[in-house]
Each structure stands twice: as structure tokens, then as C-alpha cells.
Amino acid sequence: MTRKARVHSSRLGVAITAGVVLTILAGDALGQDTTRRRRRDEAAKPIELTPAQVADLTKLANARKLSVDDLIAAAKTYMPSGRHDDYVLFSSGGQSGQIFAIGVPSMRLLRSISVFTPESWQGYGFGGENDPVRERLKINGKPVEWGDTHHPALSETAGDYDGQFLFIGDKANARLGVIDLRDWETKQIVKNPLTVSDHGAAFVTPNTDYVIEGGQYATVLGYGYATPEDYKKSYRGMVTMWKFDRAKGRIDESQSFAIELPPYWQDLADAGKLASDGFFFVNSFNSEMATGGVESGKPPFEAGASQRDTDYLHIVDWKKAEKVFKEGKAKKINGFSVITMDVSAAEGVLYFTPEPKSPHGVDVTPNGQYMVVAGKLDPHVTVYSIDKIKKAIADKKYSGKDDYGIPILDFDAVKEAQVELGLGPLHTQFDDKGYAYTSLFLDSAVARWTLGGEYDSKNADEPWKLVQKTPVQYNIGHLCAAEGDTVSPDGNYLISMSKWSVDRFLTTGPLLPQNFQLLDIVQPGTTMPVIYDAPIGVGEPHYCQMIKADKLKSWDVYPEIGWNPHTQSLDPNSPKKGQEGVVRNGNKVTVNMTAIRSHFTPEHVMLEEGDHVTWRIVAMEQTKDATHGFCIGGYNVNLSIEPGEYTEFEFVADKPGTYPFYCTEFCSALHLEMMGYLHIKPKNAPKADASATTPATTASAK
Amino acid sequence: MSAFLTRLIGPRIPDEELRANRARYVTPTVIFMAARILLLVSIFFPYWHMELEAPQYPSGLFLTAYVNNLTEDVKEIDGLNHYIGMRPLGEAASFERAASVYLMIAMVLMVEVAAFVHSKWAVLLAVPVIGFPVGFLVDLYYWMRHFGLNLNPQAPLSSSVKPFVPTVLGEGGIGQFKTYAELGTGYWLAVVSGALIIIGFYFHRRAYRPLTLSATQNPKAAA
């Protein structure tokens, strides 16, 4: 070899070395990817039906009496096993006091979330005595362990759902529940100290600064008393602005306030957005201030409250109200800040304008430009313009003042349009193509109609016109389109929350389920066909909201072992592995327990009659869906201990005996063996050593 | 310098020879250096993976072994293993895992020294690095076999799962689980490191063998 050749071969040696290293690194990086991809997940291939398959399908359809439309509906809604829905519907659970989460388009119930009603599967309110859930459900010291949930409200950022929190109102008891959508659990319940019941909850302002709770049946604010004769003088309505602290995930009651209203019965509310940001709107009925009394020959409420042709749309400048509150101009009623009507009138917080009598929903269009009031007893929807409202306020274009001194904006000055839709219009939602959708209760139909203004150019139809009606079964209340009450609706699916199902399902005794009907609204110009009927056999839901599933960032398991869902942090009291056992301090006993497939530690808990027991239990699991339950028969205890969750409960061991406790969630092959014994020794029992040596004597002595 | 030491560390390179044929002498040093770096880098890459597949774990369970650490779904796998009476994986090879990084640094230093040894004895200093990948596999097999064959007979599933030897590489199975095991990036880096050392010795021999021979033929010049 010449010297030159040697130098070359040396360089070659170094180059080969580098090459080999790089190839191996790259090759192995790719190799790792294939390991992780060994799973199924083959992409769906486009299908093509062979004539034989078409024949089979046709035969099947005919045997089951399915039309071509039925087959198409099935194809639009059927979810193969393992496929996830595009949207999640958060629905009020009505009198069940819960929320239901339902997948769309499959309409499969995913789960319920307990809010106002203790529920045992979730272990909600079943942690022995003084359960914190039961404690916070008390009103004026009385257990009120149910709720009439009406309107869920997803938290919003810039007027769009952000998937972080969910609020819901309890109409029966004027309460608000706050749910954290990381773990889908109720974190807080606030009780309105002013009013017994409400209706217009919950609606959020565009950045969830406030959660709006509109009232309904007027009372003497703060649980006062007055006879019907004093109705005008003493009864009042209200709307409450609950301040939401997003960082804490809680409503801050000290920064919340209410606005006193005349004793018209306030109804639904909606917050302004974009063009109307800073305002919110509330409907009312019974501006007649009828006091009923059918039993004494007076007109019943249903007639008395329907005498006048118009009621009042309430227009609230909440930014002004917030300023007035912060300036200390609110007064306290039952410990809660209230801006009184004289202050509201003087500061320009509150305006009225006439609306066709006894309307139902008031819904703000996605651009915030228009407020749509559905007539209920009037076949029209009446549309108001925020620009016109602002101008009328600036020009003081009043048609008068009501009995309480609140200025009434001239109807013609603020009205944009009236659109005749049919009988019983109740609620309105929107799509992304310039259409609005209104439920028609009496017609039992969904109406699609066009918006005007800047929406006019979004479709070929004439503005402010009815274009289509689809019958629904039956008696539709609320309706909900995909993100249909946000600044950017998806125009994708629509749910008709039909109140009566009559003949849609098998008869389930005299109490029938509600009917959630899925309508396909994607194609303008079509009939908006009903493509699925989903029976809801738990409570009577009212409103629901539909959020794109990928906006929800739920936890698979709690972030760390020992997590306390009430504080959303690691709990210092959570037992550690190896430190399980029973700690006694007089008759105060603490049980430190861990749970892991498939055993509790300790498995024997020895107590004495009369012990005050604090039982701490933590799931040492970090695997998705490895949930345990824990129950003690006879002591009203059932917990759901989800992976990583820490929970504690208290009780007095006042009934001696030997109690098996066990895991109530089928966790593993050895689930039945996941049990133990709680031994509560009677006070008069002989000493342990004596009973061990002379069992016969003990028995005969009794 | 004693004759023994001279024989051991081999001849030094005359200055004029180094100037004339720098590449010839630098090449083995560079290749040894690359091998040392790769071995150190391999500490940060996984040496071994196992994936476990079962119906109720649709996204699988994973075990990843580094020379000093066992990660990923260890807790869940330990949880499952307790049903068949296998000891927690953390109790396996604890000495090896604790010592591995020091051991590897020692091996790297030995190769560094080897670069200065210009006799055939340099090979001895590099033997541990060359043998390391094999040693890793043998150790892994030993522990898997030890754990698999020594199940607690009182475990809940002892009647259905008998002691077994888990598959260290390739496809295996236990209970409802299918297992796939393969070597990781770190392991291959260690293999390349060993291979580079072998290549390096080719150039080492080519550079120093003539010097050694000429020194033997002309002892005065070497001294």
C-alpha cells in the first residue's frame, strides 16, 4: 500500500464508522415506532358494495321493514365498536338532579354526573354520616337532596366553549352546581340566599367572568314573608351574577351580586357577545302581576298572567351593574349584595322593552347582533337589534316607565324583524350558514329560518323567512345544535328534546321516557330528517349543550396517588403504602386503608361500640378504568374510588357486629375476594382473652 | 523504562514518522474515541423493550429497560404479576442497575488507556466493552428465568399459571398476554461501540505492528 492509499483507507475507516452509527440510530428510531404501532387501527378503507351484498342488505332491510331513508339514518348514526363520537351532549337531567353526558351522533349515554341528588354509583353523598356532599345540599339546615336541573352552561372563552367547566341551575331550590370537566365531578353548590326557586340558570358571560342566574317566581327576597295582597309592594324578582374564579374553579360568593327586579316572573336569560358583549337579556311573563287564587273564584295564574299583549324583555348592562356593585352602591339582603331598582334606574343598569306576551327563550345570535325572543303564545319570533337598543338608550327613546320606574325602550325603535314560524315557538339555536332553528312546541316541529343583516349573504334564501319545518315526536321543548349557542356554531347536528314520546317506544308503564331526537341539519335545502330517537328514562331534561369532543381534556386517572377531588390536589392525609392500619386516640379512631387489585389493607378492622371513626382510603391504582368501590352494609356507605383517588368518611360505630366490607366495582378476576371485615365489639362483651378461652360461658351467660 | 513495561505499552512513535503518517496513527485513536462516546451515549437510550398485549389493555403495556433503570408500566405489570406470584420487577438486577453506570465509565476509561497502549495487550483493556452486550443479555435472561421460575406458590393464580421462563427476545406469552420483546437503541449503540473497537484494532495493529517489529529487529533504536 502506498502512503496515499493508506491515508485514504484511514479516512474510509472513519467514514464507515460514522455511517454505521447513523444508520443504526435512524433504523432503530424507526423500529421503535413500528413496535408501538403493532396495534390494530387499520385506517378505514373505502367500501364498495358488490351486487351480492346489495341484495343481502336489501333483503335485511325488507325483513326489518326499513326504508332507504332508515338505512341512510342508520349509516349516519351507527358507531362501530371502539369508534368515538364527534360530540358530547351535556344534558340537564331534570328532576333527577343530575347531568347526562351523551355521545353524538350515536346518542349513547356515556355517563351521568350527580349534582343535586346523592347517587351511589359515583359514591356521591354515600360517605357515612356528615358526608360533605349531604352537608352542602342542606338549605336552611334542611336536607334538600334533589334538584330540578334545567340549563347546563359550558364555560366559554371569547364566547366559545373551552371544555373546562360546566354549570347547572336547580330551578326548584335556586342553586347552582359547578362541575370540573377534568374529572367530571361536582365541586361546588351555591345556594341563592335571596330566592326560593329560579329558572334562568345557568348562562355564562363570554369569558365566564360571571354565571347568570335569572329568577322566576317572585317572593319576598331573602326568604321573607308577605301575603298576596302585598304582592306589588313586597314581592320581587331578581337576577344574580355569580362571579366565577377560573383559577380556583369555584364561584366566589363574596364577589357576586344580584339585581333587584319587579315581581314579573323572569324567565330565561342569555348573555350578549361580540356586538352585545356587556349586556345580558332576560325574558319575563306575568307583568300583569296576577296573584291567582282560583280557589276563591279569581282567575287562575294561567289566565291572569296572560292578559296583556306584551311583557318585558329585560336588558341589563352588566358591566355597569358590576361597576355599581364595586362602588359599594349595593345593599345587603340576607347577607347578599343587591342592586335595588332605584339604583338600577338611576345608573342606567336596567331597561325594558315590550315583547309579545309570555315568551320563552331569548337567544343571542352568534355575532351578538340580534336577540331572538320566541313568542310561545304568539306565532312569531321577535328579533331585536343591539345597535338599535344602544341607540335608543343613548337617545332616551322611551315609550314610558313601568310602575317601578324602569325605562321602557320604544318597541319600534329596537325591533329588527318579526318572523312567523308557527305555533308555540320556544327556543332558538344557530348554525354556521345563516340559519336559525326554533322549536315549535304546539306544532311539534323544528323550524329553520333565515337571519338577516350580515347573515343574509351566507345562503341563497331571503332574509327573515321561514324555510323549512320538520315534525318531531312530540312536544319539543329546548333544542340544541352543535355549539349552536356560541360565537361559532358548527351547523352539524340538532337535538330535539321532545317532552312526550307517546308511541315512539315500548310502553314502560304510565311513566314514559323523554325522547331525544337527532336531526341532520348539515345540508340546507333538505328536510332536516330525524335520524335517531334516544329514550331518556331518567328525569325530564330541559336544556343541553353540544361540545366538540376534542375540546374536552379529561383526565384518564387522577394525576397522583392520594389525589383529593374536592381540593383537586394531593391530600396530606392520604395513607401511604406500608403505613396502613388503625390509629386509636380514646374513642376516636382513624382507619388508614389502601386499595389495589385485589385487596384492601388492612382486611380486618377492629373497632369498639361507640367509636367515632374517620376512615381514610386511597386507590393505589394508576391504570385507566381500574376503579374500586367500597361499601359497608348497614352503615349507608358506598364510595367510588377511582384510580389515584383519596377519600375519607366518618361514622359512629354504634351498631356492634361483624360487617363484611367489599369492593363494589368489578375490578379484577379476584374482585369477589376483595373484601374484609369490620368488627365492632359490643361494649358489654367480655375481654378478648376471656372470650377466647371460655366461649361456652359467654354464650350461656346471655 | 523497564523492558517489561516497554513490551507492555509498546513502542512510541518517532516524531518524524508521526509527522509523515499522522492519519495512520490517529485513525485507531479516533475510532476508539467514537466507541467510547457511543457507549456513554447508550446509557441514555433504552437497551430493551417489552410490549404486553391483552384484550383489556387496548393500547398495550410497555416495559423499557435502560442499563440503570426499568420504566413505563412497571407498576401495572407488578400489580398483575402479583396474581401469579412473581416478585416486583424492581427487585431484579438491583446490583447491576446500581453499578452499571460506574461499570460503563470504568470500561470507557479502559478503552481510553488502550489508545495509549501500542502493543497487542491493548486488546485486553477493550475486552469488557466488546463483551458487554452479550453480558447484558445473559444477565437479563438470568433474571427473567429466575423470576419466572420462582413464583410464590400461594399466589391466587398459582394453579393456572405454572412457573415459566419469560421470552427475552421475540414473541412469547403468559396468561391472556402476548409479549413482544426486542433490543433497543442503547443496546445497538453498545454493539456498534464493540464493533468499532474491533475495527479500531485492525487500524491499531496496522499502525503499531511495523513499529514493534522494527523495534525488535533494532533494539537500540527502540530504547
What's the burial of A325, exposed, middle or buried (CB within 10 Å: 0-12/13-18/19+)?
A: buried
- Residue A95: CB atoms within 10 A of its CB come to 18
A16 close to B (CB below 8 A): yes
Dist. CA A223–CA A191, nearest whole Å: 12
Is pLDDT of B179 > 50?
A: yes
Neighbouring residues of A662: CB distance < 8 A, sequence distance ≥ 6: A630, A631, A672, A674, A675, A676
Q: How confident is the model at residue B40 (pLDDT cuts 50, 70, 90)?
A: very high
Between B67 and A702, where is the model more confident? B67
Can you give the pTM of this predicted structure? 0.88
Task: Determine the residue among A6, A17, A624, A627 to mutate to test chain B binding: the one whose Cβ has the most chain B Cβ atoms within 10 Å.
Answer: A17
pLDDT of residue A589: 97
- A13/B182 CB distance under 8 A: no
CA A81 from chain center: how many Å?
A: 26
Q: Find chain A residues with C-beta within 8 A of B50's C-beta.
A: none
* DSSP classification of residue A404: T
Angstrom distance (rounded) from CA A104 to CA A79:
10
Nearest to B199 among A11, A17, A38 (CB): A17
> Which burial class, exposed, middle or buried, applies to A601 when counting CB atoms under 10 A from its CB (0-12, 13-18, 19+)?
middle
Q: CA of B23: which chain A residue's CA is closest?
A: A7
Interface check for A596 against chain B (CB to CB < 8 A): the answer is yes
Segment holding B129, helix H or strand E: helix B122-149
Mutation target for A interface from B16, B27, B38: give the one with most A CBs within 10 A.
B27
Q: Provide DSSP, A179-218.
A: EETTTTEEEEEEE-SS-S-EEEEEEE-TTSSEEEEEE-S-
Whole-angstrom distance, CA of residue A326 vs CA of residue B169: 70
Using CB atoms, which residue from B31, B60, B75 is nearest to A14? Answer: B31
Give A458's contacts (C-beta < 8 A, 6+ positions apart): A432, A433, A434
pLDDT, one tens digit per residue, over B77-126 is: 999 999 999 999 999 998 999 999 999 999 999 988 888 888 888 888 88
A21 touching B, CB under 8 A?
yes
Question: How far is A267 from A286, CA to CA, in rounded Å?
Answer: 10
- Collapse the DSSP code of A398 into the 3-class scheme (helix H, G, I; strand E, B; otherwise coil) and give the result: strand
ipTM of this complex prediction, to 2 decimal places: 0.76
Low-confidence stretches of chain A (pLDDT < 70) are: 1-43, 687-702
Q: What count of residues does chain A have?
A: 702
The number of angstroms, rounded, from the C-alpha of A593 to the middle of its chain's C-alpha atoms is 33
Nearest to B188 among A24, A596, A673 (CB): A24
Asked if residue A587 lies in contact with residue A608, where contact means CB atoms within 8 angstroms, the answer is yes
Q: Which cell is B42 given?
A: 447508550
Q: Is A143 on the interface with B (CB under 8 A)?
A: no
Query: Hey, are the CB atoms on A32 and B34 less than 8 Å from each other?
Result: no
Q: pLDDT at residue B221 above 90?
A: no
Note whether B192 contacts A622, CB cutoff 8 Å.
no
- Residue B139 pLDDT greater than 60, yes or no: yes
Are the CB atoms for A588 and A621 separated by under 8 Å? no
Helix H or strand E encompassing B162: none
Residue burial A412-436, b: 16+ Cβ < 10 Å; e: rest: ebbbbbbbebbebbbbbbbbbbbbb
Of B24, B196, B199, the CB nearest to A6: B24
Chain-chain contact of A10 with B20 (C-beta, under 8 angstroms): no
- Nearest CB to B192; choose among A21, A38, A673: A21
How many Å is the Cα radius of gyration of chain A?
Answer: 31
d(CA A575, CA A119): 26
Which residue, B74, B97, B76, is CA-closest to B143? B97
Q: What is the pLDDT of residue B112?
A: 86
C-alpha distances (whole Å) from A188 to each of A135, A167, A168, A565 are: 12, 10, 11, 11
Q: Please say whether the beta carbons of A177 and A568 come within 8 A.
A: no
| Grid cell for residue A12 | 474510509
Side by side, the strands of the sheet bearing A109-114 are A109-114, A98-104, A87-92, A544-548
Q: Does A523 touch chain B (CB under 8 A)?
A: no
Q: For residue A556, list chain B residues with Cβ-Cβ distance below 8 A.
A: none
Of B23, B59, B202, the CB nearest to A7: B23
pLDDT of res. A537: 94
* Chain A, chain B: beta-carbon pairs less than 8 Å apart: 79
Letter for the amino acid at B41?
Answer: V
Asked if A11 has any chain B CB less than 8 Å from its own CB, the reply is yes
Stretch B125-136: mean pLDDT, rounded?
92
For position B123, what pLDDT does the model report? Answer: 85
Q: What is the DSSP string of A409-467?
A: E-HHHHEEEEEE--S-EEEEEE-SSSEEEEEETTTTEEEEEE--GGGGGGSSSPSS-EE
Q: Is A399 helix (H, G, I), strand (E, B) or coil?
A: strand
Backbone phi and psi for residue A657, each to the nearest 5 degrees, phi listed first: 150, -175
Determine how β-strand B48-54 pairs with β-strand B177-183. antiparallel
Nearest residue of B to residue A29 by CA position?
B185
Would you tell me how many other CB atoms lie within 10 Å of the CB of residue A247? Answer: 5
Are A3 and B31 a contacting pair at CB < 8 A? no
pLDDT at residue A692, as a whole number: 41
Distance from CA of A4 to the nearest CA of B (A): 10
A21 and B23 in contact by Cβ < 8 A?
no
- All cell numbers assigned to A84: 368515538
CA distances from A635 to A127, A144, A598, A632, B181 (A): 9, 21, 23, 6, 50
**Which of A7, A34, A35, A556 should be substituted to probe chain B, the one whose Cβ sees the most B Cβ atoms within 10 Å?**
A35
CA atoms within 13 A of residue A10's CA, in its CB half-sphere: 22
Using CB atoms, which residue from A14, A39, A623 is nearest to B30? A14
